[in-house]
Structures are given as structure tokens and as C-alpha cells.
Structure 1
Amino acid sequence: MKSDRAAPSSLILQTFLQKFDQFAAAPDTVAKMRKLILQLAVQGRLKSQGDELSFPQVRLDSLGSWAQGCGFPVAEQGHADRPILFSKVSDMNLSGNEREILKTNHTIDEAAAKRLRIKVHPPGTVIFPKIGGAIATNKRRVLVRPTAIDNNCSGIIPNESCSTHWLFLVLSAIDLAEYQSGTSVPAVNQGALGEIEVSLPPLAEQKRIVAKVDELMALCDRLEAQQQERETRHAALARASLARFADLPTPANLDFLFHSSFSIQPSDLRKSILTLAVQGKLVPQDPKDEPAENSVGRNEELSADAPFEIPDQWKWTQLSQLAEINGGFAFKSTAYTDEGIRVVRISDFDEYGFKDHKVVRYPFSPDLRKFTLAESNILMAMTGGTVGKSYFVRCLPEPMVVNQRVATIKVSENIDPSYVDIAIRSEMTQEVIRKAKNSTNDNISMVEIKGFAIPVPPLAEQRRIVAKVDQLMALVDALETQLAASRATAANLLEALVAELTAQV
């Protein structure tokens, strides 16, 4: 039955070109189009005109014979000038080997092949990884000269009914990860793979389909190159816009960073806002403000080693001079109960707030009073994979006490605790935390926390900074939502196109 609409290949060429800019922001756009082209090709749906074709369905293992890998003793390795290539999975990554195995790191001769009982496979064999994480890379390579493969590879030697190029297409359209077994060391299940039903057109039609796929893949290459060029230009524009925002951090300049033609990652923008805040570049200084030195004193040694310059009315100091910092109580987990005061462990909070999934409690006693949490305190994890994470307690939903390896930072009355939270979350402090984490196996000590260098502005400016950061972060949140919606729209457009092209005629 003839179709009343354009055939799939025409739709790909026309719709893809016409709508590419609309869904280019969707993740892995070109990769999905390549996958779609392969899917249509092996289904016989890449006709340019007229009816789509129906081909006989056969088992994959009927297209040829298996090319088995073999062991490769270390003593035989290291020769690069012998006539027979010996391909490992790693050789698939060599420059020039993107489709065909033209060279390998190791070679053998006929004598070694015979002595070691190594099978040498003929040109035209299509190989792929069959063991380990390389399965998920879905690499396929064609042998162009007599080649042996190691036992981490497998392949198929095509018979007279199947061209090498058609076999390459068929194998490329199969996600091998769906046919692997095992958990610690996954391996492709050859039996399950061989049972897959695939199309087998006549050789002449195989040749025509392969030519059409090459044409469409070349189109994808051009679109991908255009996309990469556009992304490079957009990245340069984004850097310039971020510099503009750094010079004049206004909501208008922040909005410009989310221009429709490019965007900066919201996470990077949040880091920039915090960095500008602690460098004194987010709000103007007021000479009428009381200098910070009057309230926090001066740390001459710290000022000499300061990571960056700060305004004249600001002063460098250590966190210990701004807050009382304590660790938590060493509760025994066997003593937790369903009643009593809530205990805050490292797993019970993140930067967004408290988690209520597995609340534990402990009978309250007066000796726990110094471990109680209060509003405007800052919590920090001192150990584990999330070491250094912090949460500013704006609201305390119920009385709580803090467990060991959770630091509680209780900021002095003459300092705005919200500003200290900003300083802790800034890249300046986060870099200190990362270094401590890497050097101490996911731990940060109380001494290191107390020694955090904090640039302190006058109290009035602290409050202006906090207000400005809140304003800008709210804008980033709103703009991030818009960006996510735009990407979702692009992804939906792409999915709709894929659904249209893969619908049964």
C-alpha cells in the first residue's frame, strides 16, 4: 500500500533541517538522530519515494559465522612490524580507527598465530567489545586486513548473503548493553545476540540503503559541526556576559546571561554571585558605614596571606573570631528511640534543609543542652562523601540536638549569620574544603573549620550584600526554571519527530 505522505527519508531530510534549531538544545540531539537513521535503515524505511519495503526477517547469526577472540600472552606483545594485526578493545580508540581497524599497537606473524592457535579473521569481519564497561560504548569496527582479536572482543564474518557494510549497519543498530549478563564483569550473551531477528534485503538493496545512510550520516556530521561551532561562539558570548555582570552585577545584566541564544550554567552563575559578594563587588561601599575592624579586630597575619584584595572598610579574620563552633554529641545508634528530642546526623540535612525520611530521637537530658540547635546556626558535615556540605538554619521545625561529626556554627550577634553562610558557600571556602577532603580521606577537622578565612564587611554592608544575594539568587531560580522549560520543549519536539518518523505506515 502506498503512503499518502512523504516517505521517512524525506521527512528526516526536510523536518530535521527545518526544525533542527528548535530542538538543538535537547540533550544528545544529533546522537538520537543517528540512532533513528540506523533504526529506519534496518527496518527498510529509508526509501526516497514510493512504498517502504518489507524484507525477510532472519536470525542475526544467520548473516555469517562468529569471529572469536583469543588470549594474547604478554611475552608475544610489543611487536609493531609484523604482517598480522592483533586488535584489542583499546585499539578501537586509536586515531584513524573510528570505523575500520587500520592499525593496532601489537602485531603477530603466521608462525606465532599457528604456535598460539590464534584465529586470524578475514577483511570484512565486523567486531565489537563483548566484555566489561566497553560494551556500553557500542563500538563497531570493520577489519580491512587479516586481523586477530583478543578475548575481550567478538565479531561476525559475513557470508555471501550479507555485505560487510549491511552487517555493520545491523550491528550498529543493536544496543549490546541489552544483551549482556553478569554484574561485576558484564559480558555479551552470544546466544541471545544470535537469536535477534534482523532484516535481510537483497544485496543490491543493501547497497542502496547503505548509501542512503551514508548520505544522512554526512548530514548529521554537518549539523553536529554547525552545532559545535555555534556552542563555541555562545561560550565566548557567555564569558563576556559573565564579565559584564561581574563589573556591574545588576538584575538587568543577570537577565542578559540567560539570552535565548546562549546560557551559562545556573550553578556557575550562583558561584559567581557568591564570589562577587565576598570580594566586595556586589554592592557599593558606603563611607558612612562603621569599619569592620571596630567589631571584629584585625588579624595581621591573615591579611598578609589574603587570597584577594578587599575594600578598605573590610577586614580579614578567621571564622573562629566570628562564631562559636562546636562538634556534636557522640550518640550511640543503639540508644536511639522513637520518642525524645530529634538528633541531626550528617544524612539528615543538605543545603536545602532537613530530611524527614529516617528521623531518629534520643531522650533529652541537661547535658545535651550545649549540643542543641538554634535558628540562624549553620550546620556542616565533617566527614564522609558529603564532607563540607552546609545548611543555614533559617527555621527550626522542632527542637534538635546535633550528632558527632556535624559542626554547629553559632555566629556572634555583631555579625549577620546570613553573610557568614554566603562566605562559607563561596568558592573561596569551598576550595579550602576540597583540599582538606582530598588530603584527609573525606574529613575536615574542627581546627580547619575554625581557621576558615572570612573577609568581613561592615555590618550594614553585610545586610546589603545578603539582600542583594537573595534578590539575584531568586532571579537565577526563576531563569533556571525558564531554561529547563525551554530544554524540555526542545526535547519534546525531538521526541515528537522521532515518534512521527518511527510510526507504522
Structure 2
Amino acid sequence: MGIELVELSNLLEYQKEFITINDEEEYKRCTAKLNCKGIVLRDVIKGKDIKTKKQQVCKAGQLLVAEIDAKVGGYGIVPSELEGAIVSSHYFLFNVNEEKLNRLYLHYYLKTDDFFNQIKPQGTTNYASIRPRDVLKIKIPLPSLERQKEIVEKLERFFKNKELFDKQNENNAEILNKLRQSILQEAVRGKLVPQDPNDEPASVLLERIKEEKERLIKEGKIKKEKPLPPISEDEVPYEMPRGWEWVRLGEISAIVGGGTPKTNIKDYWENGDIPWLTPADLSNIKGKYISKGRRNITKLGLEKSSAQLMPKGTVLFSSRAPIGYTAIASNPLSTNQGFKSCIPYVMQMNEYIYYYLTYSAKKINEQASGTTFKEVSGSEVANFLLPLPPLREQKRIVEKVDQLMALCDELERNIEQSKKDSELLMQSVLQEVFKEA
């Protein structure tokens, strides 16, 4: 005979009590992490900075459910360290009747698919929410308190091992990120591939670039710009191999901004066939190249805005928060104003420039300024220092980095699979344990 399923209405009591926030006091605020990851500290804040002056106070051991985020696993048991923390009216608090229900038993059951699948939000997709009565209708298996305690002890042993396993995955991911950065560092310092004395030096490449710029200016394709300042010895961060040259990014490529056609004019957007990117479009791409974003613009939209059509091979660099996303355009496209993109005067340099900007992204982000949001200007991007190898050596560097990054990608896939396996194992263990409850 199976264990009886009991509605939470018989085990929980909905609490709806509010306090008035004092401007002079300091408050802990908590929030529900998504994907059943529990309740955590959101921040510690002065009362004067809390806009809504009516708030709820949490007690350790209560069930806290987010009105909207419950549909994506936004719920959990309030931990002891968040006793007295506050939440808004968009959260629901429930006291647990511990004469019937072990709160740790409930804590673990909240992680199961069986609990999650009983959440039935109402409303439109983005704002679908649940009410306290919906929570209280959820059913859980309820064995004796003694059996609940046994289940908790078994699961605590399992989760202790899972925590160690997950921590190792996190460590491996961190090590992998450091490995990627180390590869790029070796590459841009000339230590990743051997030098060839027969390579045409970068100084000759710079002469070719100078000639190309002069040709483009003469043909009216680019404007003549104020010369960039010479590079002083104090600016040079390290010594380069023979045949390399320190240059400013604006010396070897055109720095191009972007723009956004007016969103209320349909002719700028409807049936557009020009890929138009925002920094968010670069946030999750795999590999170096990108061909399209989530939106297209029309030729008219391009003409009526500061957006520009950039050629295949352009190095895209997000210059407005988030700063440092990089990619290479695999076809002509345009971007919004959150980019300062680089069009190399010798296009064969684009992959090396891409890797150098990828390597420098964190440092650039740290040095960026801004109050409302951080940003680097076009002139700042043009003044970036870049160690320029001979063109043939650039090709060898890119090939080697590609090879090593492919190996890193494989390691990353293994780590991600390991994380998924950990979650699948957890669900399997939870299902088995509660089935035997």
C-alpha cells in the first residue's frame, strides 16, 4: 500500500503579516533562487533606500514562495541565517506544522519534479503567477515523523557527497577559464608558437596598412582622422619578440560605432533583411563567428540611423555594459550603439585582433567608466595598445589557439555534462527515496 498523499493545507499555515520599514534601520533582504536552489541573501540595505515601506519578515524554517518565479523553481525553506530578513508582498510565507511535517523533509521534497510539476501558474506567459491557495493545494507523500527523519538522514548523506562533487565541477570550470586566459596570454606575448626569422616583420605590415589607409582616404571611403598619440615607453607593458610592433588599435583598423533605428517606425524594421545585433546577442554564442541577432533592420532603417553596414570579417566588440563580448561577423551586418567594432585595414588580421580583445576584455571592463552604465568610447578603443606580430606568425598563432580552444571546449562540454548528470542523479535519488517513503 502506498504512502498517503496529503495537501499542504493540512501541514502549512499561510502567514500574512507586514511591518513598516524604518528609514534609519538596516535590513537584510532575501530572495528565492531559481531552479529550486533555495532561499539566499539578496542584500543588506538601509530602510530609506527601500521604496515599498510595507514588508514581510521571514522566520527560519518557513516555506517562502515567489509569486511569479515559483513557475521556475523560485521557492525554498528560509535558512537560519536569514531569520528576520524581509521580503515584499510578491512572496508568500508559510509556517510549517512540525508536529506533522519535518521541515527538512519538506526542504528536500521541494527539490523533486513531483513538487515542481504541481505548480500551476495562471496568467500571461511573462506574468503567470500563483496564489497562496495554489501552494496549499499541492500534495506530498507523508509518512510518520520517524520515517521522515530517516529519509532526511539518508538524503543529507547523499547531498553532502553531491555538494563535494558539484564543488569539484565548479573548481574545474574555474581552472578551465584560467587555462583559456593563459593560452591567450602566451599567444599575445609571442610564447605560444615559434618565431620564424624569415617572416616579414610587422613593420612592413604597418607600411602596407598605411598605404591602404591612404588609398581609402583618397577614394573617400574613410575620413582622414587626427593622428593617434605615439606610444611612450611607460605605456608598454612587456617586451615583445623581435619582428613584433606595439600599435594602437585605431592604427590598424577603423573603429565603427552603431545605432538603433527608431523603434516606432515599422518601415525601419518590418521585413528587414540586414542582421542587427545588440551585445546580448553575443552573450551565449559558441565559437568566434556570428551571422545574425534576434532582429533585422531594413535598408531604410540603416540609412535613417547611425547604424552602419559592416563587412564580413569585422571584429565586433561590445563597448557598453556588458563590456567585452567579442565575435567576428561571418557576413555583412549592423549593430546598435553598444558596440565599437573594428574593421581591419588588412582583413587577414581579424582573428588575431579578436583573440587579443578577448584576452583584454576583463581589463578593459575594469578600466571602463560611467555612472548610469559603464562604457568605453570610440577614442578609447582606438587607443588600445596591441602587440602586433608578423602576419604569417599571426596565422600560426590563430591556428594554435583554435586548436587549444577546441580542446578547452571539449573539456567544458564534459564539465557541463557532469553537472547535468549530477542533477539527473539527484532527481533519481529523490524519486526513489520518496517513492519508498
Richer in helix (by share): 1
TM-score range, shorter chain: 0.5 to 0.7
Write the distance in 2 (CA, Å) between the matches of 1:263 and 1:149: 32
Write the distance in 1 (CA, Å) between the matches of 2:21 and 2:258: 57
Residues 1:317 and 2:253 aligned together: no
| 1:209-232 per-position Cα deviation (integer Å, ceiling 9, x unaligned) | 14413532452365257547x839
Residue in 2 aligned with 1:353?
290
Contact map agreement 1:138 1:172 (CA 8 A) in 2:
no
Report the CA distance between 1:455 and its aligned residue: 0.9
Q: Number of residues paired by the alignment?
A: 368
Residues 1:459 and 2:391 aligned together: yes
Residues 1:377 and 2:310 aligned together: no
Question: Matches of residues 423-462 of structure 1 in structure 2 within 5 Å?
Answer: 423-426=356-359, 428-433=360-365, 435-436=367-368, 438=370, 441-462=373-394
Write the distance in 1 (CA, Å) between the matches of 2:428 and 2:403: 38
Contact map agreement 2:249 2:386 (CA 8 A) in 1:
yes
Residue in 2 aligned with 1:420?
353
Write the distance in 2 (CA, Å) between the matches of 1:170 and 1:281: 56
SS in 1 for 2:397: helix
Residue in 1 aligned with 2:33?
none
SS in 2 for 1:274: helix
Cα gap change, 1:302 to 1:459, in 2 (>3 Å): farther
List alignment gaps of at least 5 residues for structure 2.
31-58, 208-227, 283-287
SS in 1 for 2:298: strand
Question: Matches of residues 60-71 of structure 1 in structure 2 within 5 Å?
Answer: 60-62=8-10, 69=17, 71=19
Write the distance in 1 (CA, Å) between the matches of 2:256 and 2:422: 49
Question: Matches of residues 270-285 of structure 1 in structure 2 within 5 Å?
Answer: 270-285=180-195
Write the distance in 2 (CA, Å) between the matches of 1:62 and 1:367: 64
Q: One-letter code of the match for 1:453? A: L
Residue in 2 aligned with 1:468?
400
Contact map agreement 1:378 1:390 (CA 8 A) in 2:
yes
Calculate the TM-score normalised by the size of structure 2. 0.61
SS in 1 for 2:295: coil
Report the CA distance between 1:450 and its aligned residue: 0.7
Q: One-letter code of the match for 1:443? A: E
Report the CA distance between 1:306 and its aligned residue: 2.6
Question: Matches of residues 84-233 of structure 1 in structure 2 within 5 Å?
Answer: 127-129=62-64, 136=74, 138-140=76-78, 154-156=93-95, 158=97, 163=99, 166=102, 169-170=105-106, 173-174=109-110, 178=119, 189-197=131-139, 205-206=144-145, 208-220=146-158, 222-224=160-162, 227=165, 231=168
Cα gap change, 1:185 to 1:405, in 2 (>3 Å): closer
Residue in 1 aligned with 2:215?
none
Contact map agreement 2:65 2:75 (CA 8 A) in 1:
no
Write the distance in 2 (CA, Å) between the matches of 1:390 and 1:332: 26
Cα gap change, 1:168 to 1:455, in 2 (>3 Å): closer
Q: One-letter code of the match for 2:388? A: V
Contact map agreement 2:292 2:333 (CA 8 A) in 1:
no
Which of the two has higher C-alpha Rg?
1
Write the distance in 2 (CA, Å) between the matches of 1:410 and 1:68: 59
Write the distance in 2 (CA, Å) between the matches of 1:154 and 1:341: 50
Write the distance in 2 (CA, Å) between the matches of 1:148 and 1:468: 55
Report the CA distance between 1:445 and its aligned residue: 1.7
Contact map agreement 1:130 1:187 (CA 8 A) in 2:
no
Report the CA distance between 1:192 and its aligned residue: 3.9
Residue in 2 aligned with 1:107?
none
Residue in 2 aligned with 1:392?
328
Q: One-letter code of the match for 1:163? A: E
Cα gap change, 1:151 to 1:463, in 2 (>3 Å): closer
Report the CA distance between 1:276 and its aligned residue: 2.0
Cα gap change, 1:89 to 1:270, in 2 (>3 Å): closer
Q: One-letter code of the match for 1:418? A: E
Write the distance in 2 (CA, Å) between the matches of 1:413 and 1:58: 71
List alignment gaps of at least 5 residues for structure 1.
1-51, 79-86, 91-123, 236-261
Write the distance in 2 (CA, Å) between the matches of 1:340 and 1:392: 21
Contact map agreement 2:248 2:384 (CA 8 A) in 1:
yes
Q: One-letter code of the match for 2:397? A: I
SS in 2 for 1:475: helix
Contact map agreement 2:248 2:386 (CA 8 A) in 1:
yes
Q: One-letter code of the match for 1:391? A: A
SS in 2 for 1:416: helix
Write the distance in 2 (CA, Å) between the matches of 1:469 and 1:371: 31
SS in 1 for 2:241: coil
